[in-house]
């Protein structure tokens, strides 16, 4: 497994903690930045990770900002990305099992390094269950790819 990882200026330290966890598990990753605390625009980093996942360069992605919300909104603008903002492991695990999430987001101002590691570990170890959940993912895919006329 290879993970695409990125953060904004609010989350550099937490990104480094997650990279240390990935290193300890011998999980490959590509770090798309940022690497400093100077203010940056998080959508650019969400775009890099989303494109790496969609291109198949990485199997999944991890995005970290202040809350995880901005990153998840940005990543979900890409058809085929199922980004989730999680603040605890249970939701992260179920997002994999039921929704086949492929991008995990969390906030450096919301969770500390220990909890972020537990969230990441649960998400990485969880497997998509398929079955009844696939029907729902198929509906989501149809919605995100169909062109709907604007209602007036």
φ/ψ (deg, to 5) at 104: -105, 130
Does residue 34 contact residue 10 with C-beta atoms inside 8 Å?
no
Closest by alpha carbon to 27, among 54, 46, 2, 51?
2
Strand order in the sheet with 83-85: 28-31, 2-7, 60-65, 103-107, 83-85
Which of 9, 44, 98, 133 is labelled catalytic?
98
In the residue annotation, 58 being an active-site residue is answered as no
Which of 65, 86, 105, 133 is labelled catalytic?
65
Strand partners, 70: none
Instruction: Kindly tell me the sign of the dihedral angle through the C-alpha atoms of 7, 13, 14, 17.
Output: positive
In the residue annotation, 98 being an active-site residue is answered as yes
Which residues are the active-site residues?
65, 98
């Amino acid at each position: 497994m290879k993970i695409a990882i990125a953060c904004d200026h609010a989350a550099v330290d937490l990104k480094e903690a997650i990279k240390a966890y990935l290193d300890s598990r011998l999980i490959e990753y590509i770090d798309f930045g940022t690497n400093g605390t100077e203010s940056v625009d998080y959508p650019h980093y969400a775009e890099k990770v989303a494109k790496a996942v969609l291109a198949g360069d990485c199997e999944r992605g991890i995005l970290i900002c202040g809350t995880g919300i901005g990153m998840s909104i940005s990543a979900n603008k890409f058809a085929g990305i199922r980004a989730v903002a999680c603040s605890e492991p249970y939701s992260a695990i179920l997002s994999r099992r039921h929704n086949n999430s492929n991008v995990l987001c969390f906030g450096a101002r919301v969770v500390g390094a220990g909890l972020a590691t537990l969230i990441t570990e649960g998400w990485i170890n969880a497997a998509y269950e398929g079955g009844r959940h696939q029907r729902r993912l198929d509906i989501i895919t149809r919605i995100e790819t169909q062109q709907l006329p604007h209602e007036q």
